[in-house]
Amino acid sequence: MNGISRRGLLTWSALTGSAVASGALVTPGLATASTAPDHSRTSPITTVGPSDPRYPALTRGQNQRWVSTPEQVHIPRTTKEVVTAVSKAVSSGKKISVRSGGHCYENFVDRPDVQVIIDMSQMTAIDWDSAKSAISVEAGAPLGDVYYTLFKRWGITLPGGSCYTVCAGGHVLGAGYGGLSREHGLISDHLYAVEVVVADENGVRAVTATREQGDPNRDLWWAHTGAGGGSFGIVTRYWFRSPQGGSTPKTALPAPPREVWVHRSQWAWKDMTQAGFTRLLRNYGSWLEDNSATGSPYTGLFSRLELTTVGSGAFHLVVQMDAGKPDAEALLNAFLAAVNAGVGVQATVTDHRRMPWLHASGWPGMWMSNPTDRYKYKSSFHRRGFTDAQISAFYEKLTATDYAQPPFVVSIASYGGRINTLAPGDTAHAHRDSVMLLLWGTAWQSSADDDLHLGWHQDFYRAVYADTGGVPVPNENTDGCFINYCDIDLSDGGLNTSGVAWHDLYYKENYARLQQVKQNWDPDDVFRHAQSIRLP
Q: Which residues pair with 207 in a beta bridge?
A: 196
Residue 95: CB atoms within 10 Å: 17
Q: Environment class of residue 131 by beta-carbon count within 10 Å: exposed (0-12), middle (13-18) or buried (19+)?
A: exposed
Mean pLDDT of 276-296: 97
Distance (Å, whole) CA 535 – CA 520: 10
Q: Which amino acid appears at position 174 of this protein?
A: G
| C-beta separation of 255 from 155 below 8 A | yes
Q: What is the dihedral of CA 226, 232, 233, 239, to 10 degrees?
A: -40
Q: Which amino acid appears at position 90 of this protein?
A: V
Question: What's the pLDDT score for residue 366?
Answer: 75
SS3 at position 370: coil
Q: What is the pTM of this model?
A: 0.91
Residue 80 has pLDDT above 80, yes or no: yes
Distance (Å, whole) CA 479 – CA 420: 13
∠ at Cα 397 (393, 399), nearest 5°?
A: 120
Return the domain boundaries, the chain. Answer: 47-119, 126-256, 259-510
Nearest to 193 by CA among 173, 165, 177, 167: 173
Q: Which amino acid appears at position 154 of this protein?
A: W
pLDDT band at 98 (very low <50, low <70, confident <90, very high): very high
Q: Return the CATH fold of 259-510.
A: Vanillyl-alcohol Oxidase; Chain A, domain 3 (3.40.462)
Per-residue pLDDT reduced to its tens digit, 327-362: 999 999 999 999 999 999 999 999 999 999 999 987
Q: Which residues of 141-166 are buried (b: 16+ CB within 10 A; e: fewer)?
A: bbbbbbbbbbbeebebbbbbbbbbbb
Provide the terminal-to-terminal Cα distance of the chain, rounded to the nearest Å.
17
Three-class secondary structure assignment of 457-504: HHHHHHHHCHHHCCCCCCCCCECCCCHHHCCHHHHCCCCCCCCCCHHH
Supply φ then ψ for residue 173, to 5 degrees: -70, -10
Residue 1 has pLDDT above 60, yes or no: no
Residue 33 has pLDDT above 70, yes or no: no
Q: Which residues pair with 321 in a beta bridge?
A: 261, 301
pLDDT band at 318 (very low <50, low <70, confident <90, very high): very high
Nearest to 281 by CA among 533, 71, 464, 482: 464
Question: What's the pLDDT score for residue 42?
Answer: 54
Cβ contacts of 529 within 8 Å, gap of 6 or more = 97, 108, 109, 111, 230
pLDDT band at 21 (very low <50, low <70, confident <90, very high): very low
Residue 11 has pLDDT above 60, yes or no: no
CA distances from 192 to 72, 172, 320 (A): 33, 12, 28
Per-residue pLDDT reduced to its tens digit, 394-410: 999 999 988 877 778 99
Question: What's the pLDDT score for residue 44?
Answer: 86
CA distances from 491 to 238, 423, 478 (A): 30, 27, 18
% the chain with pLDDT above 70 = 91
Q: Which residues pair with 414 in a beta bridge?
A: 436
Per-residue pLDDT reduced to its tens digit, 376-398: 999 999 999 999 999 999 999 99
Per-residue pLDDT reduced to its tens digit, 44-73: 899 999 999 999 999 999 999 999 999 999
Mean pLDDT of 250-271: 98
Q: How many residues in total does the chain contain?
A: 536
**DSSP symbol at 43:** S
Question: What's the pLDDT score for residue 407?
Answer: 79
Q: Is the dihedral of CA 512, 516, 521, 522 positive or negative?
A: positive
Check residues 19 and 148 and name the one with the higher pLDDT.
148
Question: What's the pLDDT score for residue 402?
Answer: 85
Q: Return the CATH fold of 47-119.
A: 3.30.43
Residue 28 has pLDDT above 90, yes or no: no
Q: Per DSSP, which regions of 124-251 are E strands? A: 126-129, 134-138, 191-200, 203-210, 234-240
pLDDT band at 22 (very low <50, low <70, confident <90, very high): very low
| C-beta separation of 73 from 59 below 8 A | yes
126-256: CATH architecture? 2-Layer Sandwich (3.30)
Q: Where are the alpha helices (DSSP H) in 174-273?
A: 181-184, 218-223, 249-252
Nearest to 481 by CA among 458, 454, 501: 501
Mean pLDDT of 151-155: 98
Per-residue pLDDT reduced to its tens digit, 116-140: 999 999 999 999 999 999 999 999 9
Distance (Å, whole) CA 274 – CA 332: 26
Question: What's the pLDDT score for residue 362?
Answer: 79
| C-beta separation of 429 from 222 below 8 A | no
Mean pLDDT of 230-235: 98
Q: Which helix (H) or strand (E) holds 5?
A: none
Distance (Å, whole) CA 532 – CA 535: 9
Q: Which residues pair with 364 in a beta bridge?
A: none
Question: What average pLDDT does the structure give for the chain?
Answer: 91
